[in-house]
Amino acid sequence: MSTDSRLPGIDGASNISGPPIDGPIGQALWARADAVLPGRAMFMTRSARYAGPGVQPGFIDEAQGCRVRDADGRWYLDLNCGNGPNLLGYRHPEVEAAARRQAEQGDLMPYFPSAMVDFCERLLRWGPGFDWALPVKAGSDATALAMRIVRAARNRDKLVLFRQAYHGNNAEQSLRHERHPAAALDNLYRLDWNDPAGLDAFPAEAADQVAAIMLNPIDQPSGVPASEASADFVAAVHRFRARTGTLVILDDVRSGFRLHPQGSHRAMGLDPDLLCLGKALGNGHAVGALLGKEPLRAAASSILYTSTYIYSAVCFRAAIATLDVYERDDAFAVIQRAAERLRAGVLAAAGRHGLDLRFTGPATHPNVLFVEDPGCARGERFAYEAARRGLLFHPRLAWFVSAAHDDAAIDEAIAIADAALAASA
Ligand code: PMP
- For 113-132, how does the pLDDT look when each residue is reduced to its tens digit (9 = 90+)? 999 999 999 999 999 999 99
State the Cα–Cα distance between residues 252 and 241, nearest whole angstrom: 19
In DSSP terms, which residues pair with 70 in a beta bridge? 60
The pLDDT value recorded for residue 41 is 81
Q: What is the pTM of this model?
A: 0.97
| Higher per-residue pLDDT: 255 or 6 | 255
DSSP 413-424: HHHHHHHHHHHH
Task: Judge if the beta carbon of residue 216 lies within 6 A of ligand 1.
Answer: yes
Task: Judge if the beta carbon of residue 365 lies within 6 A of ligand 1.
Answer: no
Task: Judge if the beta carbon of residue 143 lies within 6 A of ligand 1.
Answer: yes
State the Cα–Cα distance between residues 54 and 38, nearest whole angstrom: 19
Q: What's the start-to-end Cα distance of the chain, in Å?
A: 40
- For 141-162, how does the pLDDT look when each residue is reduced to its tens digit (9 = 90+)? 999 999 999 999 999 999 999 9
State the closest ligand 1 atom to the C-alpha of 141, by its place in the atom list counted from 1: 16
Task: Judge if the beta carbon of residue 278 lies within 6 A of ligand 1.
Answer: yes
Task: Judge if the beta carbon of residue 217 lies within 6 A of ligand 1.
Answer: no
The pLDDT value recorded for residue 412 is 98
Quick one: angle between helices 114-126 and 313-328, nearest 10?
30
CA-nearest residue for atom 8, ligand 1, is 254
In DSSP terms, which residues pair with 276 in a beta bridge? 251, 290
Closest C-alpha to 415, from 381, 379, 386, 392: 386
Task: Judge if the beta carbon of residue 175 lies within 6 A of ligand 1.
Answer: no
State the Cα–Cα distance between residues 214 and 165, nearest whole angstrom: 9
Which of 44, 166, 400 to mutate to test ligand 1, by most ligand atoms within 8 A of the CB atom?
166
Whether residue 168 contacts residue 330, with contact meaning beta carbons closer than 8 Å, is answered with no
Task: Judge if the beta carbon of residue 127 lies within 6 A of ligand 1.
Answer: no
Task: Judge if the beta carbon of residue 220 lies within 6 A of ligand 1.
Answer: no
In DSSP terms, which residues pair with 228 in a beta bridge? 218
Task: Judge if the beta carbon of residue 343 lies within 6 A of ligand 1.
Answer: no
- For 205-214, how does the pLDDT look when each residue is reduced to its tens digit (9 = 90+)? 999 999 999 9
> Per-residue pLDDT for 260 more than 50?
yes
Whether residue 213 contacts residue 151, with contact meaning beta carbons closer than 8 Å, is answered with no
Task: Judge if the beta carbon of residue 25 lies within 6 A of ligand 1.
Answer: no
The pLDDT value recorded for residue 2 is 42
State the Cα–Cα distance between residues 131 and 117, nearest whole angstrom: 13
Quote the ligand 1 centre to 294 CA distance (angstroms). 25
CA-nearest residue for atom 5, ligand 1, is 254
Please give the distance of CA 23 from its chain centroid, rounded to a whole number: 29
Q: Is the dihedral of CA 263, 268, 269, 273 positive or negative?
A: negative
Kind and range of the H or E run holding 141: helix 139-154
| Amino acid residing at 64 | Q
Closest C-alpha to 346, from 416, 393, 297: 416
Residue 285: CB atoms within 10 Å: 21
Quote the ligand 1 centre to 411 CA distance (angstroms). 30
Kind and range of the H or E run holding 26: helix 24-36
Task: Judge if the beta carbon of residue 85 lies within 6 A of ligand 1.
Answer: no
In DSSP terms, which residues pair with 90 in a beta bridge? 65
The pLDDT value recorded for residue 81 is 98
> Per-residue pLDDT for 259 more than 70?
yes
Quote the ligand 1 centre to 169 CA distance (angstroms). 8
Quote the ligand 1 centre to 287 CA distance (angstroms). 12
In DSSP terms, which residues pair with 133 in a beta bridge? 291
- For 23-55, how does the pLDDT look when each residue is reduced to its tens digit (9 = 90+)? 999 999 999 999 999 988 888 888 999 999 999
Residue 374: CB atoms within 10 Å: 7
Quote the ligand 1 centre to 285 CA distance (angstroms). 14
Quote the ligand 1 centre to 137 CA distance (angstroms). 11
Q: What share of residues in the chain are helix, strand, coil (percent, to 5)? A: 45, 15, 40
Whether residue 85 contacts residue 282, with contact meaning beta carbons closer than 8 Å, is answered with yes
| Amino acid residing at 121 | E
Mean pLDDT in residue range 251-280: 98
Task: Judge if the beta carbon of residue 139 lies within 6 A of ligand 1.
Answer: yes
The pLDDT value recorded for residue 9 is 83
Mean pLDDT in residue range 227-242: 98
Quote the ligand 1 centre to 167 CA distance (angstroms). 6
The pLDDT value recorded for residue 4 is 58
The pLDDT value recorded for residue 56 is 97
> Per-residue pLDDT for 390 more than 90?
yes
Task: Judge if the beta carbon of residue 253 lies within 6 A of ligand 1.
Answer: yes
- For 278-324, how does the pLDDT look when each residue is reduced to its tens digit (9 = 90+)? 999 999 999 999 999 999 999 999 999 999 999 999 999 999 999 99
Identify the burial level of 292 via C-beta atoms within 10 angstroms of its C-beta, where 0-12 means exposed, 13-18 middle and 19 or more buried. Answer: buried
Q: What are the backbone angles phi and psi of residue 172, rounded to the nearest 5°?
A: -70, -35
Task: Judge if the beta carbon of residue 169 lies within 6 A of ligand 1.
Answer: yes
State the closest ligand 1 atom to the C-alpha of 255, by its place in the atom list counted from 1: 3
| Amino acid residing at 417 | A
Region of 414 please: left (phi>0), alpha (psi -120 to 50) or beta. alpha
Task: Judge if the beta carbon of residue 166 lies within 6 A of ligand 1.
Answer: yes
Quote the ligand 1 centre to 120 CA distance (angstroms). 21
State the Cα–Cα distance between residues 26 and 72, nearest whole angstrom: 6
| % of the chain residues with pLDDT over 70 | 99
Mean pLDDT in residue range 389-409: 98
> Per-residue pLDDT for 276 more than 60?
yes
